[in-house]
Amino acid sequence: MSWLITGGTGFVGQALTRRALAEGKDVRLALRRPFEQGAAQGLMVGQIDSQTAWQGALEGVDTIFHLAARVHVMNETATDPLTAFRAVNTAGTLNLARQAAAAGVRRLVFLSSIKVNGEHTAPGRPFAANLPGRPEDPYGQSKWEAEQGLQGLARETGLEVVVVRPPLVYGPGVRANFAALIRAVHRGWPLPLASVTGNRRSLVALDNLVDLLVTCADHPAAAQQTFLVSDGDDLSTAELLLRMASALGRSPRLLPFPPALLRLGAATLGRQAVVQRLLDNLQVDITHTRQTLGWQPPITVDEGLRRTVAGLRTP
């Protein structure tokens, strides 16, 4: 039986595809446009929404990894972002699940987001898998609605649904703010973050996330469950930068600066969201994941960072 991966050309999807092929799985990729990905079979399905026809891609499929999504963007251009997110992330997901159930697919593993739970946690109170969703932006809302819809479909059809909510994912090929931080440390730029030692952020290395996704494909206890995932080693922003520097073989230039003044400066410049991600807490509790699946992150944060910087252009 085959695995169908949507979003197989993305950051997580390519890593999952490589892992699946290395393990000898029969892998199909649902694609919007032609793309070469090793020995995986590519199937064109076009835009993912409520009207996508999946029948041809689902024949003989046992497990679906649904990674494709309209992702969170810093500079939104849609006039109605929630409607745009719902079209792909909610309606598109539920359309796939309905057709999967009708085609006899056994299990659907849905890559959601910790944004379903919210944007930050109180000190010492990490998000847990049993907490209700409290999304604060359209992307998180669309993912939460998709999760709820999938739970209903699972009850109606018997389709085994597994939901995985990762926090920030890093690894070879990471982009955006995480890559920018690595480059700043590599170039020796002074960063006013030495005093940001009291917060804690959960991250997940790409290889750890992929390992959990693969575990969720066949583990009998995973069906109808929601799992949070992380490296199991939460870091302050200052500690993260120190470990980045260690992975790079560099000495970081971290300057002490009061976090309150950083927040004030960010508000003045309209950069509150960026600074909040550097200063606030966002922790996840993976106890349920560990106990239910017997799963442990296979690599450490330090190894994840080493692999990340090895695959990143830092000059």
Active site residue ranges = 139
Q: Please, what is the Cα angle at 187 between 184 and 192, to 5 degrees?
A: 45
User: What does the H/E/C string look like for 79-106?
Assistant: CCHHHHHHHHHHHHHHHHHHHHHHHCCC
Query: How many angstroms separate the CA atoms of 120 and 186, rounded?
Result: 28
Q: Please, what is the Cα angle at 19 between 15 and 20, to 5 degrees?
A: 115
What are the Cα distances from residue 250, in Å, to 133, 180, 239? 40, 16, 14
DSSP 125: B
Instruction: Write b or e for each residue in 232-262: b if 16 or more Cβ atoms lie within 10 A of its Cβ, otherwise e.
Output: bebbbbbbbbbbbbbbbeeebbbeebebeeb
